[in-house]
Amino acid sequence: MFSGAQISLYPMSDEFVGVILGSLSALDPYRDRLRIETDDISTLLVGTPDVVFAAMRDLFVAAAKTGKHCVLHATLSRGCPGEPDDPICQVAEMTGPMRPLDERKAQALAAVAAIPSSGQSVAAQFSLYTLGIGQHMDEIYGCIDFIKTSGVFDRSKNFCTKLRGDAAPVFATVGEAFVRFGPPQGHVTIDLTVSANSPSKA
């Protein structure tokens, strides 16, 4: 299994470089469990989904606490047939046979309920793609059922689902969607946008 994310942080500020550099220490607790590579468009985080999601959350919360309007975008992927297996990415949810959808929904809800709050409100939207399988919409609809009861569901939009709430359950909800839906060793991707301090509250 190979899993990770290409992430980008966008502070809508003349001080965007300072906001980004000032937030990077939030990644320090995770650096020994991640492979990190940066270019001019995004930063690659390779690691298990729990570590990747916790690192993204803490980075984004650190940036949002400046009060500036900030957006984080992530292109997440696991199980891509074109990527080599990597020992840094092994995790129990992504091995073994596929469990019944109701069991996975219940596990996802329990995991989100156990997360302590971060104190930072965010809005987010994401799309889940389960690739290489014929009945991909069954997994997507199952995931949407879970999201509607996760406590951070805002509304369905064309092409994505919108969340709103504390950053901790929002990132946890997307993280559970990523690991619990689609076949355990299948190719699953997420297109995620998280926003804080927007002047145009909807």
Residue numbers of the site for a second copy (CB under 8 A)? 2, 4-6, 8, 10-14, 16-17, 39-42, 44, 46, 69, 71, 73, 75-77, 80-83, 123-125, 127, 129-137, 140, 157-160, 162, 187, 189, 191, 193, 195, 198-202
Q: Which CB, 81 or 116, lies closer to a second copy?
A: 81
| Cβ neighbour number for residue 90 with a 10 Å cutoff | 12
- How far apart are CB 110 and a second copy at their closest, in Å? 27
- How far apart are CB 119 and a second copy at their closest, in Å? 20
Closest CA to 123 of 169, 185, 75, 184: 169
Q: Which CB, 20 or 111, lies closer to a second copy?
A: 20
List the helix and strand counts (H, then E) for the chain. 5, 8
Helices (H), 24-165: 49-64, 101-113, 136-148
Q: Which CB, 15 or 103, lies closer to a second copy?
A: 15
Pairing between β-strand 35-38 and β-strand 43-46 as defined by DSSP bridges: antiparallel
- How far apart are CB 114 and a second copy at their closest, in Å? 27
Q: Which CB, 111 or 188, lies closer to a second copy?
A: 188
Q: Are 179 and 47 in contact (CB under 8 A)?
A: no
Q: Which CB, 65 or 162, lies closer to a second copy?
A: 162
- How far apart are CB 93 and a second copy at their closest, in Å? 19
- Using the CB atoms, write b or e for 182-194: b if 16+ within 10 Å: bbbebbbbbebbb
- How far apart are CB 159 and a second copy at their closest, in Å? 4
| Cβ neighbour number for residue 158 with a 10 Å cutoff | 4
